[in-house]
Structure 1
Amino acid sequence: MKISLKIFLGYFLLVGLAAWFVLVVFVDEVKPGVRQAMEDALVDTANVLAELAKRDLKEGHILNGQFAESLRNYQAKAGVANIWGIPKSTADYRVYITDSQGIVVFDSKALAIGQDYSHWNDVYLTLKGQYGARSTPINASEPDGDTIMYVAAPIVDMGQTIGVLTVAKPNSTMQPFIRRAQQKIMGWGALLFVLSLGLGIAFTWRFTRAIHRLRDYAIAVAQGKKAVAPDSSNDELAELAQAMKTMRDELDGHQHIQQAIQQLTHELKSPITAIQAAVELIQPDMPVQDRTHFLNSIKTQSHRLQQMVKNILGLAALEQQQMLELPVNIELATLVRQQVQLVQDRADQRGIALVTSLAPALLIQGDAFLCGQAISNLLENALDFSPDHSTIQIRLAPAAEGICLQIEDEGSGIPDYALNKVSDKFYSLPRPANTPNAGQKSTGLGLNFALQIMALHRGTLAIRNAENGGVIASLLWPN
């Protein structure tokens, strides 16, 4: 299923469910809302009629008094009304009056005169001084059928309840209003449905169009075509477009494979030339001292070639690796001690003190071999640039961002122009005059190798000059 369809269905489902829920609530609330309004009107009507009927009930001629005559006249000619488009031409009320004992003494429909209504809630509760109302089915055999609402009001004279007047009105008379309200709600609901559909289509089209533009840009980049990175008003898509542009700029700028081959070819020329020159100069009858010098030069340059090829292969494999395959728990203090032990003999030969301050029980998740290589490269670098009888400080401690390893030497430091280049591939500074390999350069891959290892561990490599001379190289593993 295409992402555009997934987005549309998800959006439409969300909006559709919300609209359906709102419609159901509205429709379900219409009927009780209308009935509540009708009950409120009946309360006022009952109280007004109770006041009008008080004199006739008190004087004993409620059946043929002014009140009864007025009701009969109204029922005979109820008048014609048009209520918001719904015609009304008949009287829908039934009015009955009971005495203080609950016996019906007046009924506008002449249905229950003389009957005892004291057990009905409208009469019973009103006689007790409470609000009396009830809703009763029109047909007792159909309890779920249409109902009649009864609302009562007390007839009070001199503080005494002398009777109860009840107004009854079928709930079905409100059905046209309820039906019309529901139809309007459903109509607006249908309009909302159509608008939601239109908005969903527009939203999906706009969103997926940006994705398609990103896809087309990626295809163009893969085919080597020139293309302008698409822009987008969506923050996340804009960030993705910028990330793709940056990726392309990096790929175009580095031309990784070709550049690596060119640089490697260039770097190999120097040691090969030195070996060839030494071989040509060696003669059988030359002094032993000179022969030894040339042989040592061949050995040194051969070792440099071997290291260069080894580092290039390792770096190429590392750059292709996108994530750690089998990370394990690494106790960093133990790993650092192991790497320090490997270079201890070299340091002792030159009188260099390796002073360690390692916090215990600092664990990371990673590749122990690769992390060991990164630490080893920094130690080798520090030894190469440290004068004899100096000190190298090795500190491991927790930091705010994670765990930090610092290796600080007492060398001459890095020139300002080289500070931002020392971790570049094939970039190397000549060793200082007061070191065994004075004037020589390394393969220029060690620090870049360490940089790639830290990137694989989501960490960082930082190199800066110390305030009192020397260099501080730091490895930071994040929490």
Structure 2
Amino acid sequence: MSLTARFLLGFAMVATVGLSLLFTQLIHRVERQYFEAVEEPMVDVANILAEMIAADAEGDSINPQRVEKAVRAAQQRELNARIYNLDKMRVDMQVYVTNARGEVLFDSAGIEKLGTVSNHRDVNLTLMGEYGARSSRASPRDPLSIVMYVGAPIRRADKIIGMVSVAKPQRGVLGFVWETERWLKWSIITTVLLMLLGIYLAARWATRPLEVLTQHALAVSRGERSTPPRMPGHQMKTLAKALEDMRDALDGREYVEHYVQSLTHELKSPVAAILGASEILQGDVPEPKRARFLQNIRAEGARLRDLLERLLHLAALEKQKKLETNEVVDLGAVLDRAWDHLAVVALAKEVRLERDIKSGLAVKGDPWLLELAVGNLLQNALDFAPPRSAITVRGFHCDAHAVCEVEDSGPGMPEYALERVFERFYSLPRPDSGKKSTGLGLCFVKEVAQLHGGSVELANRVGTAGARALLILPA
């Protein structure tokens, strides 16, 4: 699982649990405060009605006729009241009145029978001079049929002669509660989604340098030439530098070890030939044999010199992490200069060059390195080309790349060598002499191609004899 996914999953779990608890507590608190807000004006209404009834009382006798008439009339009204998102059409508040003994004198809801004694909590507490309130279900099976009751004493000369209770169904209040609950729910969901988006963007921003550094490390582990990425922040820069230093140290260690082993192997043959010839020349050797042995010494010495020069070029190239010179280079001009260096050898072998380079075929890079790379491909083709044959060079565009194709009509390569031709010091015997080259030319071409962001391919031609090399570079 990626770091970004871990961030998102962890935050989603914490946010879901935390906000669920918060949502539950908020709903309970909102519901309670709505009922508190409703109960407070009910106290006022109950006391106002109590004073109205007390004003109409005669002694201890209560006459709720005026209040009854007013309540009945109010309940018949069509209100058409738009309270935010709630439409209120009728008065849903109920009123009932009892005397000092708790006998019901009036009930607008028609629940209590007139003359019966009410033993409800609001009646008993109010008649005792305390604050009387209760909540009861109008229907035992309906949890939403709860009605709130608030009582107020009817006093006459500081004597409680009865009580009045106002009732408000909670169903009307629950409309506001449900509206608030929906608003809270969508607000929390929207907030969580926005926070997740923010966390995702922040996590991507935070982990992007690690992803880039990981890709760089993977490219290095595959042996690719990868430029160290630019890292933001002190810690990331330190990590990138430490990784690059470790890479250089490991590369240098393996580089030296591999080179010592390979170079020792390659030097054995020419050194043995030189030592053998020199030992023979110390004795009495006829002049014709002396000349032949001296020629062998010169040839092996030249081979050693060529090997060392190519090793120096390859070692310098492999140490480069990016191009030191980066300019527009015409591949046609590069080919002409590379062929000029081989013209004498080609003339002696009677091998001609057939050139088909598209005009304006250009790449960005180091002209000297590109010339050496093309020269190595031409040298390789010339070594295997039969006398009085042709080497064909084509240059063309393919998608966003410039391709230089070199073909010869030699014997081609055996199947076992196709996967090893780009290995350092690997070489095949030349058809005309039977000798091997240094085995560094194609390795050099591969390094140049990778340094320029391209690649090189070598395969046998299809349907005819010979090999074909492709140098592919970004156009």
TM-score, length of structure 2 as denominator length: 0.52
What is the alpha-carbon distance in structure 1 between the residues aligned to residue 393 and residue 193 of structure 2? 68
Structure 1 residue 424 and structure 2 residue 423: aligned?
A: yes
461, 464, 472: which one pairs with 1:468?
Answer: 464
Q: 1:64-122: per-residue Cα shift (whole Å, max 9, x none)?
A: xxxxxxx99864445999x9999998599xxxxxxxxxxxxxxxxxxxxxxxxxxxxxx
Q: How does 1:6-45 map to 2 (within 5 A)?
A: none
Q: Distance in 1 between matches of 2:357 and 2:189?
A: 71
Could you give the per-residue CA deviations for residues 243-284 of structure 1, whole angstroms, max 9, x where no partner exists?
A: x9xxx9xx89x9444222211111111111111112111147
1:95 maps to: none
Describe how 1:68-83 pairs up with structure 2 within 5 A. Answer: 75-77=73-75
Distance of 2:402 and 2:454 partners within structure 1: 10
- Per-residue CA shift, 1:122-156, capped at 9, x if unaligned? xxxxxxxxxxxxxxxxxxxxxxxxxxxxxxxxxxx
Q: Is the 8 A contact 2:86 2:175 kept in 1?
A: no
Q: Which amino acid aligns with 2:443?
A: N
Aligned in 2, Cα 1:78/1:424: closer, same or farther, shift over 3 Å?
Answer: same
CA shift in 2, pair 1:402/1:80, >3 Å: closer
CA distance in 1, matches of 2:394, 2:192: 68
Q: Distance in 1 between matches of 2:189 and 2:397?
A: 62
Q: 1:452 aligns with which of 447, 450, 469?
A: 447
Q: 1:263 — aligned with what?
A: 262
Please state whether the residue corresponding to 2:277 is helix, strand or coil: helix
Distance 1:364 1:198, change over 3 A: closer
- After TM superposition, give the deviation of residue 469 of structure 1 in Å: 1.3
Question: Could you tell me which residue of structure 2 aligns to residue 440 of structure 1?
Answer: 435
Q: Compute the displacement of 1:177 (Å).
A: 6.6
Aligned-partner SS, 2:459: strand
Return the letter of the residue paired with 1:181: E
CA distance in structure 1 between the aligned counterparts of 2:418 and 2:446, rounded to whole angstroms? 14
Aligned-pair CA distance for 1:336: 0.6
Distance across 2 between alignment mates of 1:312 and 1:80: 103
* Per-residue deviation, 1:181: 3.3
Per-residue Cα deviation, 1:267-308 (whole angstroms, up to 9, x for no partner): 111111111112111147533322222222122212221222
**Cα 1:87/1:351, change in 2 over 3 Å:** closer
Match of 1:185 in 2: 183
Q: Which runs of 5+ in 1 are unaligned?
A: 20-70, 93-173, 223-243
Contact kept, 8 Å, 1:75 with 1:90, in 2: the verdict is no
Percent identical among aligned pairs is 34
Q: Check conservation: 1:324, 1:456, Cα contact below 8 A.
A: yes
- For each residue in 1:5-36, what CA deviation from the matched residue of structure 2 results, as whole angstroms up to 9, or x when unmatched? xx78xx99xx9xxx9xxxxxxxxxxxxxxxxx
Corresponding position of 1:333: 332
Query: Is the CA contact (8 Å cut-off) linking 2:381 and 2:406 kept in structure 1?
Result: yes
Residues 1:407 and 2:402 aligned together = no
Deviation track 1:213-263 (CA, whole Å, cap 9, x = no partner) reads x98xx89x99xxxxxxxxxxxxxxxxxxxxx9xxx9xx89x9444222211
C-alpha contact 1:78 1:91 (8 A) present in aligned 2: no
Which amino acid is 1:267 matched to?
Answer: E
Shift of the 194–336 alpha-carbon distance from structure 1 to 2, 3 Å rule, reads: closer
Alpha-carbon distance, 1:194 to partner: 6.3
Offset at 1:460? 2.1
What are the equivalent positions in structure 2 for 1:156-235 lying under 5 Å apart? Answer: 181-182=179-180, 184-186=182-184, 189-190=187-188, 193=191
Specify the alignment match of 1:322 in structure 2.
321
Structure 2: stretches of 5+ with no match in the other structure: 20-68, 94-171, 222-242
Contact 2:86/2:176 (CA < 8 Å) preserved in 1?
no
Q: Secondary structure at the match of 1:455?
A: helix
Q: Residues 315-370 of structure 1, C-alpha deviation per residue, up to 9 Å, x if partnerless?
A: 23322323323311011111111111111111112222222222211111111111
Q: TM-score, normalised by structure 1?
A: 0.52
CA distance in 1, matches of 2:437, 2:330: 30
Q: Report the Cα distance in structure 1 between the residues aligned to 2:70 and 2:198, rounded to whole angstroms.
A: 61
How far off is 1:404 after superposition?
2.0
1:313 to partner: Cα distance: 2.5
